Structure 1
Amino acid sequence: MGVRSDLDSNFDYEIVDEFLDHYSMMVDFMESLIIDLSKPNMYERSVNELFRIFHNIKSASGYLKIAQMAKLAAFVEDTLEVIRTEHKSVNEETINWLLSISDMFAIWRDDLKHDNELSHIKYSLLKLPDLENS
């Protein structure tokens, strides 16, 4: 039994289905927003939208008791809060880290879709990029 089966047995099907639909859309949107961080005219909109996405994932996955996902989303949300309040741009290291984060959430989307257990977080994602060299 995978994570989708666990969700279906503990929550109303409509809630789970809505989460999966929204989660999939947010994951699909992440990569383009991350790439847009390198464009000065797109930076502010992109960083704010990424913050909103990770906040929503944190909240929804927390409600559904998907602890691993909620914890990583909270970690990224906290990092994005620092980025959006203290920095006017991000460096390549930060963009690459965020792309790796996006990949992890995409892996989890596939785990949910195929009713697998959630893949383990890659520990390299827990090492913050150098935010000061932006």
Structure 2
Amino acid sequence: MGVRSDLYSNFDYEIVDEFLDHYSMMVDYMEVMIIDLSKQDMYEISINELFRVFHNIKSASSFLKITQMSKLSAFVEDTLDTIRTKHESANEETINWLLSISDMFALWRDDLKNDNELEHIKYSLLKLPDMESS
């Protein structure tokens, strides 16, 4: 039994389907927002929207007891909060790290779709980028 089957056995189908639909849309949009961080005129909108996306994923996955997704979302949300309050731009290392994070969430989307167990979090994602360098 995969993670989707587990969700359906523990929660109302409508709640799970709504989560799956919204999660898929957020993952699809993530990469565009991350790339837009490199554009000065899009930075503020993108960093705030990314923060909201990870906050929403954290809240929903926590409610659904998808622990590893909830924990990684919280980690990224905290990091994005630091970036948006202490920095006026995102450097290339930060953008590449966020793109790797996005890839992890895309893998999980595929795991959910295919009713597999979720891939383990890649340890390299837990090492924060140097946000100070240009």
Alignment of 1:1-134 (within 5 A): 1-134=1-134
The superposition leaves residues 58-109 of structure 1 with CA deviations (integer Å, 9 ceiling, x where unpaired) of 0000000000000000000000000000100011000000000000000000
In 1, Cα distance between equivalents of 2:16 and 2:129: 33
Gaps of 5+ in 2: none
The superposition leaves residues 28-54 of structure 1 with CA deviations (integer Å, 9 ceiling, x where unpaired) of 000000000000000000000000000
Identity across the alignment (%): 82
The superposition leaves residues 5-47 of structure 1 with CA deviations (integer Å, 9 ceiling, x where unpaired) of 0000000000000000000000000000000000000000000
CA RMSD of aligned residues (A): 0.4
Q: TM-score, normalised by structure 1?
A: 0.99
TM-superposed deviation, 1:132: 1.2
In 1, Cα distance between equivalents of 2:89 and 2:39: 9
The runs of 4+ residues in structure 1 deviating greater than 3 Å are none
Q: TM-score, normalised by structure 2?
A: 0.99
Gaps of 5+ in 1: none
The superposition leaves residues 95-127 of structure 1 with CA deviations (integer Å, 9 ceiling, x where unpaired) of 000000000000000000000000000000000
In 2, Cα distance between equivalents of 1:56 and 1:11: 18
